[in-house]
């Protein structure tokens, strides 16, 4: 068993160490093992207690469970990791996969929509997914009821990837257990959370960012306002990916989200040919190249007045890191180190769009 894998697991499973902090730690120290050793000192310099590090015994248990399930790890920085997802800020450093990893080599398009979708919308999603699969496009979705399940079923013979919010061994919703098992054999199922994790509301936006990040474009078939599908569409737009929507009747609340997306600039699509026309320029078939970790250029420890200067620029409202760097007058590396220390001390919150805020309590 790889010592590096265990160290990476211990790092990302440690409370308060998210994907961005993980990458900064490994980028600075060159390896997960060296990063783990540095965490207590960094947290102390940030003015807080060091997080309780995930133990080696717990990491071993997780690896053994993953192996028992017939799954495997896909690690950022190694060749199996999909290039499109690797380009996303905050992409998961570690994924657990069960099924056919070769699907990640192909063109990927997401189809998402309402859980309480109409029969007509489910039929459309199933047909659209089937037609895309016939064109060698792999359909990505979230294995939810409604549109997600219909899309997976339609694409199953040609290739489909399900991204789930819980552990790789957890079936949610329960009625999709058979579908998820079949996809683990004939398609691919991906999970960010460790085995045994029951999905919670906070997990679904994280799942949605993976769906959007994997895909050259996202098609929304039916969605009510403020639905999870619109979150996926927003994330896709923020990543610079194509956002497409299927129009619906203005009399159906489930069509309001799609019609709103089209009004705001999403591409209107009605069949697979129009989807392919929209996403072809952004499709890549190449996995992310392996990237051996190398330690960053050392940054001298910031002076107390420099730390105070950065903290004064932070508050409860999220601020762009670039603004903090500019207003502090310090080198970017020094500011990033101070933010890393605050983060490990439990005093910093990171937000979408490269923003940070200082915890007030």
Check if the beta carbon of residue 47 is closer than 8 Å to that of residue 342.
yes
The predicted model gives 114-131 an average pLDDT of 96
Orientation of helix 203-214 relative to helix 228-238, angle to 10°: 50
Give residue 47's pLDDT.
84
Check if the beta carbon of residue 170 is closer than 8 Å to that of residue 200.
no
Stretch (H or E) spanning 10 = helix 3-12
Check if the beta carbon of residue 173 is closer than 8 Å to that of residue 144.
yes
Distance CA 37, CA 43 (A): 11
Check if the beta carbon of residue 130 is closer than 8 Å to that of residue 154.
yes
The predicted model gives 59-79 an average pLDDT of 94
| Interval 20-47: pLDDT, tens | 999 999 999 999 999 999 999 999 888 8
The β-bridge partners of 348 are 358
pLDDT reading at 168 higher than 90: yes
230 CA to centre of own chain: 16
Which residues lie closer than 8 Å to 312 by C-beta, 6 or more apart? none
| Interval 8-24: pLDDT, tens | 999 999 988 999 999 99
Q: Give the residue carrying structure tokens 């903090």.
A: 324
Distance CA 61, CA 9 (A): 11
Nearest to 279 by CA among 82, 149, 132, 91: 132
Distance CA 258, CA 23 (A): 35
Structural domains in the chain? 3-68+297-356 (1.10.10.10), 87-282 (3.40.50.450)
Nearest to 72 by CA among 138, 124, 5, 125: 5
> How many Cα atoms within 13 Å fall on the side-chain side of residue 219?
32
Phi-psi domain of 136 (left: phi exceeds 0; alpha: psi -120 through 50; beta: other) = left
Distance in angstroms between the alpha carbons of the first and the last residue of the chain: 41
pLDDT > 70 in the chain, percent: 94
Give residue 285's pLDDT.
44
The whole model's pTM is what? 0.88
pLDDT band for position 78 (cuts 50, 70, 90): confident
Give residue 137's pLDDT.
96
Strand runs labelled E in 65-148: 72-75, 94-99, 107-112, 137-141
The predicted model gives 232-252 an average pLDDT of 94
Strand runs labelled E in 15-121: 72-75, 94-99, 107-112
């Amino acid at each position: 068993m790889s010592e590096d894998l265990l160290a990476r697991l211990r790092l990302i499973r440690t409370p308060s160490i998210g994907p961005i902090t993980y990458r900064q730690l490994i980028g600075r120290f060159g390896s997960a093992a060296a990063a783990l050793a540095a965490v207590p000192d960094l947290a102390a310099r940030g003015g807080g207690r060091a997080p309780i590090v995930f133990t080696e015994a717990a990491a071993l248990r997780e690896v053994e469970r993953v192996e028992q399930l017939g799954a495997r790890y896909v690690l950022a920085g190694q060749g199996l990791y999909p290039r499109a997802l690797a380009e996303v800020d905050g992409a998961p450093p570690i994924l657990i996969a069960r099924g056919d990893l070769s699907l990640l080599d192909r063109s990927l398009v997401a189809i998402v929509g309402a859980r309480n979708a109409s029969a007509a919308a489910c039929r459309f999603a199933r047909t659209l997914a089937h037609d895309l699969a016939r064109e060698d496009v792999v359909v990505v979705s979230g294995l939810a009821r409604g549109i997600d399940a219909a899309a997976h079923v339609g694409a199953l013979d040609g290739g489909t990837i399900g991204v789930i919010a819980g552990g790789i061994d957890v079936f949610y919703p329960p009625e999709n257990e058979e579908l998820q098992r079949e996809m683990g054999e004939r398609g691919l199922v991906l999970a960010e959370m460790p085995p045994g994790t029951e999905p919670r509301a906070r997990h679904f936006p994280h799942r949605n960012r993976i769906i959007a990040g994997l895909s050259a474009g996202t098609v929304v078939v039916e969605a009510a306002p403020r639905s999870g599908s619109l979150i996926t569409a927003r994330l896709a737009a923020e990543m610079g990916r194509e956002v497409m929507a299927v129009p619906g009747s203005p009399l159906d609340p489930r069509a309001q989200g799609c019609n709103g997306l089209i009004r705001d600039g999403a591409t209107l699509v009605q069949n697979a040919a129009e989807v392919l026309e929209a996403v072809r320029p952004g499709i890549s078939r190449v996995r992310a190249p392996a990237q051996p970790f190398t330690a960053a250029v050392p940054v001298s420890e910031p002076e107390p007045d420099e730390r105070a200067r950065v903290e004064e620029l932070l508050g409860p409202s999220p601020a762009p890191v670039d603004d903090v760097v500019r207003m502090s007058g310090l080198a970017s590396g020094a500011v990033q180190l101070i933010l890393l220390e605050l983060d490990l001390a439990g005093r910093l919150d990171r937000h979408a769009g490269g923003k940070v805020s200082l915890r007030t309590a």
